[in-house]
Amino acid sequence: MTTETRTEEIMNKLHEAVFNFDEAEAIKWVRIGLAEKVDPFEMAMDGLCSGIMDAGEACNWEEYFMPELLLCADALYAGLDILKPIMERSGRKAAVKGALVLGVVESSTHGIGKIALHNACKKLLKVMFEIAGWQVYDLGEDDSLDRFIEEQLNTGVEIIAISSLMTTSMLAGPQTIKKLWERNPKCRVMVSGTPLTRAEAQRYGADSWTENAGTVFDKTIRLLKMLRDEELK
């Protein structure tokens, strides 16, 4: 077996471990990969993260649901917990592909079950973006909509991801989006959360709406591509 074939096998095993939410297998194949000098960045992105991406796609098609996606995330973290210290010590960083502000609007932190589920999804997204070479500014929970505007001004990020768990917390959404565009016309806004429908997001003036963690990564990539395409015009 050639080195290239063996590396491909290890990537497939990592992918399968995450997709099948098997933490033990994720740990096993990360250690095998390290022992065989496979690039830890490749294992993180092309192995582990590719597995969670396919799990997200399965979630979109309702083949998986949020409990399964979160179990996949546990397998992802199990592998990344081994890889991240090694990647950090290497001093090597992925080229920054973009930046976003991520946060939950104030008055959304009601209901322990919703909070736990939402925070787990947000943590998963943050890890995925960072491994993919994105700069993530995580505002945490219970932030005012004005806080998103301040962070955009301070960081100059191109994408703002605003999440809400309650209808009342997004009442000022249209005004916030308008302010963000006034300060940076190139800024793109993604909104998500169970109280919002696609029609409401469009009425708010958001560039994109996502119902769950399974779709947010792909939609953010599309938004960034749209920004890049506009720069080339």
Same domain, 104 and 193: yes
CATH number for the domain that contains residue 41: 1.10.1240.10
Same domain, 114 and 172: yes
According to the model, what pLDDT value does residue 205 have? 81
Mean pLDDT, residues 170-175: 72
Least confident among 113-127, 175-189, 197-211: 113-127
Hey, what are 72's tokens?
């996949």
Domain boundary among 72, 90, 108: 90
Mean pLDDT, residues 203-231: 68
Domain boundary among 90, 124, 141: 90
* 201 pLDDT higher than 90: no
- What is the tens place of the pLDDT at every residue in 27-83? 999 999 999 999 998 999 889 988 887 887 787 778 888 788 888 989 999 999 999
Domain count for the chain, please give it: 2
Same domain, 74 and 109: no
Q: 162 — phi, psi (to 5°)?
A: -105, 125
Band (129; pLDDT cuts 50, 70, 90) = confident
Same domain, 146 and 227: yes
* 123 pLDDT higher than 80: no
Band (108; pLDDT cuts 50, 70, 90) = very low
CATH number for the domain that contains residue 188: 3.40.50.280
Mean pLDDT, residues 168-182: 76
pTM: 0.69
Mean pLDDT, residues 115-121: 57
Cβ–Cβ < 8 Å for 46, 96 = no
Q: Which domain holds residue 180?
A: 98-232
Least confident among 171-175, 177-181, 202-206: 171-175
CA nearest neighbour of 13 among 31, 151, 3, 1: 31
Cβ–Cβ < 8 Å for 98, 135 = yes
According to the model, what pLDDT value does residue 170 have? 65
Same domain, 103 and 59: no
Which range has the top average pLDDT, 113-122, 132-141, 152-161, 172-181?
A: 152-161
According to the model, what pLDDT value does residue 31 have? 97
Cβ–Cβ < 8 Å for 14, 28 = no
Same domain, 10 and 83: yes
Same domain, 120 and 72: no
Same domain, 132 and 84: no
Same domain, 218 and 146: yes
Same domain, 67 and 123: no
According to the model, what pLDDT value does residue 110 have? 46
* 144 pLDDT higher than 80: no
Same domain, 210 and 130: yes
Mean pLDDT, residues 174-186: 82
Q: What would the 3-class secondary structure string for the chain be?
A: CCHHHHHHHHHHHHHHHHHCCCHHHHHHHHHHHHHCCCCHHHHHHHHHHHHHHHHHHHHHCCCCCHHHHHHHHHHHHHHHHHHHHHHHHHCCCCCCCEEEEEEEECCCCCCHHHHHHHHHHHHHHHHHHHHCCEEEEEEEEEECHHHHHHHHHHHCCCEEEEECCCHHHHCCHHHHHHHHHHHCCCCEEEEECCCCCHHHHHHHCCCEEECCHHHHHHHHHHHHHHHHHHHHC
Mean pLDDT, residues 201-209: 80
Band (23; pLDDT cuts 50, 70, 90) = very high
* 166 pLDDT higher than 80: no
Domain boundary among 60, 90, 120: 90
